[in-house]
Amino acid sequence: MSSKSISRRDILKSLSLGIVAGSVLRAIPLEAAEYAHHMVAEEKAASPSGAYTPKFFPPNQYATLRALCQTLIPADADSGGAIEAGAPEFIDLLTSENPEYQLKLGGGLMWLDLTCSDRYGQTYLACPPDQQKEILDLIAYRKNAENDLALSQGIEFFAFLRSMAADGFFTSKIGIKYLGYIGNTYETSFPGCPPVPEA
């Protein structure tokens, strides 16, 4: 099948199906993930503002998604982080084509805001950094659900989001450069084994 006959939806569905089976880096062809990043880059280049328009998440949830991705993989002196790598756009693009992701991520972001409203009287983004850290520390560890079953949905959401953010980061140009991956290389000639000294 030629690449011209493969639709955007086919590519995104293949990415989504692969992620269900495991990490993008283990289960999804790098070319397919690169295609998703390429689609995002093309949209940004074509936009007068250079911005990506979310396909699934409403503005408030997309802002929360970006903040969470930034928290999970921040930029440092050696590399850009999840934001610079386009992980939020990657996640949104995949989620727009996958009802299971829509439920997990959309429902998880809703859970996060509702839980923060109950605990702190405001949504996650409106909370000060110490409250944001407190709630994320609660949902970062599965063992916390043993003491508080109400955290179960948040824990599942955050675990899934971490995987998606890592997949979006490590399949981007920034993430691949960060890993030091140079791709498969080949030798133009093979002179054979070096001579063995005679004993």
> Quick one: DSSP state of residue 182?
-
- Domain assignment of residue 198, yes or no: no
Task: Measure the CA–CA gap between 21 and 186, rounded to whole angstroms.
Answer: 31
- Domain assignment of residue 191, yes or no: no
In 10 A of CB 80, how many CB atoms?
19
CB 15 within 8 A of CB 36: yes
pLDDT digits (tens, 9 = 90+) for 55-85: 999 999 999 999 999 999 999 998 999 999 9
pLDDT digits (tens, 9 = 90+) for 124-145: 999 999 999 999 999 999 999 9
Task: Measure the CA–CA gap between 27 and 129, rounded to whole angstroms.
Answer: 35
CB 156 within 8 A of CB 108: yes
- Domain assignment of residue 185, yes or no: no
Higher pLDDT: 27 or 197? It is 197
User: pLDDT value at position 173?
Assistant: 87
- Domain around 12: 3-179
pLDDT digits (tens, 9 = 90+) for 23-41: 444 445 566 677 788 889 9
- Domain assignment of residue 172, yes or no: yes
Q: Full-prediction pTM beyond 0.85?
A: no
Task: Measure the CA–CA gap between 165 and 161, rounded to whole angstroms.
Answer: 6
pLDDT at 186 over 80: no
Place of tokens 């690169």: 34
- Domain assignment of residue 116, yes or no: yes
- Domain assignment of residue 103, yes or no: yes
- Domain assignment of residue 75, yes or no: yes
Number of domains making up the chain? 1
The single-letter code of the amino acid at 34 is: E
CB 92 within 8 A of CB 65: yes
- Domain assignment of residue 199, yes or no: no
pLDDT digits (tens, 9 = 90+) for 81-125: 999 999 999 999 888 888 889 999 999 999 999 999 999 999 999
